[in-house]
């Protein structure tokens, strides 16, 4: 029984991996379950065993590929580092994941460049907006704490700063995915992180 469950989970993850590859390459609309089955080496039967339909699989793909981001938000809330150091770790880790984790990178490729945000994507949009609010809220809480310990000037507006961090991270992400030859993110990630931290500490 245990062996069967392990095999079923391996099959599920293999389907998710194949779907992630194809969604990021072709887009949601241009990827069929038959294509995913071929990529994974299965018929459509195992896909329907694990997922109700393509929308259900799409949700699973994003949930799986964005686990590192959710873990990053959770880590930022644990308070093991000083607030500003936590923000720095959050920003650095975001860029590290983007450069080094292909599944994390593909999740953004799917959302930003390969998906039509139609009514059919309502569940996806709801999930992503919830995650966005969680990130911004976490950053704002850290900035409030950073103001209390004096590492961020008291005059700085925490809500706007939290939005600035998020929008700059997303801006770099989308720019790089759209035109990867525009700049070398692997080499420039330190620069982007440091400039963002400088902006937070300006009076």
Q: What is the pLDDT of residue 3?
A: 53
pLDDT tens digits along 30-83:
899 999 999 988 888 888 888 888 888 888 888 888 888 889 999 999 878 999
- The closest alpha carbon to 91, from 196, 200, 6, 198, belongs to 196
What does the CA dihedral 112, 47, 59, 62 come to, rounded to 10 degrees?
-50
pLDDT band at 128 (very low <50, low <70, confident <90, very high): confident
Mean pLDDT lowest among 1-10, 23-32, 88-97: 1-10
Percent of the chain with pLDDT over 70: 96
- The closest alpha carbon to 25, from 115, 125, 122, 117, belongs to 115
Q: What is the pLDDT of residue 191?
A: 97
Is pLDDT larger for residue 116 or for residue 64?
A: 64
Q: What are phi and psi of 78, to 5 degrees?
A: -85, -10
Structural domains in the chain, CATH included, are: 1-51 (1.10.10.60), 61-201 (1.10.357.10)
* Cβ density class 127-166: b for 16+ within 10 Å, e for less: ebeeeeebbbebbbbbbebbbeeebbeeebebeebbebbb
Q: What is the pLDDT of residue 1?
A: 40
Q: What is the pLDDT of residue 95?
A: 97
Is pLDDT larger for residue 109 or for residue 172?
A: 172
Average pLDDT, the chain: 89
- DSSP states of 137-177: HHHHHHHHHHHHTTSS-TTS-HHHHHHHHHHHHHHHHHHHH
User: Is the pLDDT at 122 greater than 80, yes or no?
Assistant: no
Across residues 170-181, what is the average pLDDT? 94
- The closest alpha carbon to 128, from 60, 62, 77, 76, belongs to 62
Could you tell me the two tokens for 109?
């490729």
Across residues 14-19, what is the average pLDDT? 91
Could you tell me the two tokens for 95?
């860029």
User: Is the pLDDT at 120 greater than 80, yes or no?
Assistant: no
pLDDT band at 162 (very low <50, low <70, confident <90, very high): very high
Token pair 């607030």 in the structure block, residue: 83
**Coil, helix or strand for 77?**
coil
pLDDT band at 155 (very low <50, low <70, confident <90, very high): confident
Give the C-alpha distances (Å, rounded to integers) separating 153 from 32, 91, 169.
Answer: 52, 19, 22
Q: What is the pLDDT of residue 27?
A: 84
User: Is the pLDDT at 181 greater than 90, yes or no?
Assistant: yes
Q: Is the dihedral of CA 13, 15, 21, 26 positive or negative?
A: negative
* Cα–Cα distance, 123 to 203 (Å, whole number): 41
């Amino acid at each position: 029984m245990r062996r069967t469950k392990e095999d079923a989970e391996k099959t599920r993850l293999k389907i998710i991996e194949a779907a992630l590859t194809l969604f990021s390459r072709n887009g949601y609309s241009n990827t069929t379950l038959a294509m995913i089955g071929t990529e994974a080496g299965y018929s459509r039967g195992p896909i329907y065993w694990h997922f109700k339909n393509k929308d259900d699989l799409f949700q699973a793909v994003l949930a799986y590929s964005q686990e590192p981001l959710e873990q990053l938000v959770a880590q930022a809330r644990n308070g093991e580092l000083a607030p500003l150091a936590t923000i720095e770790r959050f920003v650095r880790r975001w860029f590290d994941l983007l450069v080094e984790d292909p599944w994390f990178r593909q999740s953004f490729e799917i959302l930003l460049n390969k998906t039509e945000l139609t009514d059919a994507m309502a569940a996806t949009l709801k999930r992503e907006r919830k995650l966005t609010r969680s990130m911004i809220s976490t950053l704002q809480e850290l900035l409030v704490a950073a103001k209390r310990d004096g590492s961020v000037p008291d005059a700085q507006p925490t809500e706007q700063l939290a939005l600035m961090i998020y929008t700059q991270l997303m801006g770099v992400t989308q720019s790089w995915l759209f035109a990867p030859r525009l700049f070398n993110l692997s080499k420039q990630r330190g620069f982007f992180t440091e400039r963002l931290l400088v902006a937070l500490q300006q009076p």
